[in-house]
Structure 1
Amino acid sequence: MKTYKVGVIRVLTTEDETVLNCHGKLLERYYPMFQVTSRCISEQFEGVHDEETERQSIPKVVALAEEIYREGFDAVIVSCAGDPGVEEARKLLPIPVVGAGESVATLSLFFGERPAVLGILDAAPKAYRRLFGDKIVSCEKGQGIQSTLDLMTEEGFAKTVEKGREQKAAGADVIALSCTGMSTIGIAPSLEEALGIPVMDPVLCEGLMTLFALRRAEAAELMKGEIHHAK
C-alpha cells in the first residue's frame, strides 16, 4: 500500500502532545495510508473563534503550510472548520491543501439536499455558507453549549441531540458538524444513531477529501504518461 506524508495544521496553540496529535491519530486510524505529522500555529491559545482571530491566523497557517511543503509532504490539511489560510496557501503550493469546513460542506451535499449546521457557535463557517447557499436549514448549537468541553457532559450531549432533532423536524436530511473538536470527542456516530440521518464528521471528511485529491493527482500524471506513450 502506498503511503502519503500528510501535514496537519492545528489552529490552536498547544504544547500538549495529546491535544496536538489527536486529529492526526484519527486520520491515521481512518486512512492507514496516511503518515501524519501535526503542527500548530503560534500565539493563539484560544484558537480561531471570531473574525479577528481568523484574520490573525491566516498568515501563520500559510507560513506553516509552506514549511510543510518544503519538508517534502504530499498534502496539507488545515483541521479547522473555518478553513483559515486554505485559499491563500492553495494559490502558493503545488500540493493539495484541504480545509475541514469545505470538506464537510461538500460531502454533506452528497448525502443530503437540506443540510443543517450543528456546532458550538451560532454562525456557520464561510465554506458552509458558500456551498450550502439557500439550501441550509439552520445553524444551531445546543442550549448552553459554549465549547467542545460542554459536549462531553451528559447534559451537553443531550442538548446537542435535542437541537439536532429540531433541525431534522425543520426539514434537515443531513447534519454538517461545524467544529473539529466534535471529531475529537467522537460525537458523530452517537448523533447519527439518535437522529437517524447522516452526520458529517469534520476529521473523517477532511481525510477523505485529501485522499481523493492525492489519488486524482496521481491519476492525472498516469493519464499524461499514457497519452505521451500513445503519441
Structure 2
Amino acid sequence: MIRVVTLEDPGLLRLHGELMEAAFPGLHTVSVCIPDQPRGVCSPETEAAAVPKILEIARKLRGVDALVVSCCGDPAVEELRRELDIPVIGAGAAVCAVARVLGRHPGVLGIMEEVPRPYRTMLGESLIHLGRPEHVTCTLDLMTGAGREAVIRKALELKAHGADCLALACTGMSTIRIAEDLRRACGIPVVDPVTAEGLFAYYVTVKNAL
C-alpha cells in the first residue's frame, strides 16, 4: 500500500493497512508513503506532484501480489497498470464501483473543491457534489473536532440535495473512521475508501488464491 501523505508515525503509516486486514482476514499489507508531502494530496497541484513519487516507489516494490494506491484521485494508477504485471487498485475507482451498486445518486464527499477524476468518469451526471466541508483544506484538518463536524454537516447537505448514498472521496476520512458516524447521521449507505480498496485487494489476492 502506498500512502500519499508523508508520515513519520509508524502507527499512522500502518493504519490503512491494518483497517483492511481487520475487515478482510487473510490480507497482509506492507505500507510505504511518499516523501515531502506532509499535507498529502489536497489539490490538483499536490496530486500532480505525487505521481512521480508514487511511480518511483512502485517500481522498486518486490514480492507483492497487488498494489493499492490509497488516494481517491487514483494518481499514477493508470500508468502503473500499464507497467506492472500485478493488479493495481486505486481507492477512487474502488469507491465508485461500490457506490454504483448502492445508490443512483451518490453524494461525493471529499476535501477538494473539484470532484476527483475517477468519480467524474465512473459516476458522471448521477453524482451530487457540493464542494468540500467548511474549513477543511487537507487531510490534517479532518483530524480536528471542527473538521469532523464539518464533514458531518456536508454529508447532511448532500442528503438534503438528493444523495441516496455517500461516496467518500478522501482516504483521510478512513483514518478518522467517520463512516459509521455518517451512516447514523444520514441514514444512507456510506462507502469508506479503505474498506472499498480492501474489498478489491482481497478479491484479487486472497479470494482468487482459494
TM beyond 0.5: yes
Shift in Å, 1:144: 2.5
Shift in Å, 1:153: 4.2
Question: Percent identity of the aligned residues?
Answer: 44
Shift in Å, 1:99: 0.6
1:157 corresponds to which residue? 148
Using the alignment, how far apart are the partners of 1:158 and 1:44 within structure 2?
25
Is 2:72–2:169's contact at 8 Å kept on the other side of the alignment? yes
1:144 corresponds to which residue? 135
Shift in Å, 1:44: 2.4
Kindly report which structure 2 residues correspond to 1:124-139, keeping only aligned pairs within 5 A, or say none: 124-139=115-130
Q: What is the SS of the residue equivalent to 1:94?
A: coil
1:55 corresponds to which residue? 48
Shift in Å, 1:141: 2.6
Using the alignment, how far apart are the partners of 1:74 and 1:209 within structure 2?
12
Deviates more, 1:98-107 or 1:10-19: 10-19
Using the alignment, how far apart are the partners of 2:131 and 2:44 within structure 1?
19
Kindly report which structure 2 residues correspond to 1:182-197, keeping only aligned pairs within 5 A, or say none: 182-197=173-188
Counterpart amino acid of residue 11 in structure 1 = V
Shift in Å, 1:145: 2.5
RMSD: 1.9
1:115 corresponds to which residue? 106
Gaps of 5+ in 1: 1-7, 220-231
State the TM-score, normalizing by the size of structure 2: 0.91
Is 1:116–1:172's contact at 8 Å kept on the other side of the alignment? yes
Using the alignment, how far apart are the partners of 1:55 and 1:206 within structure 2?
21
Is 2:26–2:206's contact at 8 Å kept on the other side of the alignment? no
Using the alignment, how far apart are the partners of 1:152 and 1:14 within structure 2?
14
1:9 corresponds to which residue? 2
Cα deviation per residue 1:160-196 (whole Å; 9 max; x = unaligned)? 2222122112111011111101101100011011100
Q: What is the SS of the residue equivalent to 1:36?
A: coil
State the TM-score, normalizing by the size of structure 1: 0.84
Counterpart amino acid of residue 195 in structure 1 = C
Counterpart amino acid of residue 171 in structure 1 = G
- Is 1:22 aligned to 2:15, yes or no? yes
Runs of 4+ in 1 over 6 A off after TM superposition: none
Deviates more, 1:23-32 or 1:179-188: 23-32
- Is 1:98 aligned to 2:89, yes or no? yes
Using the alignment, how far apart are the partners of 1:22 and 1:83 within structure 2?
19
1:82 corresponds to which residue? 73
Q: Considering only CA atoms, is the larger Rg found in Structure 1 or Structure 2?
A: 1
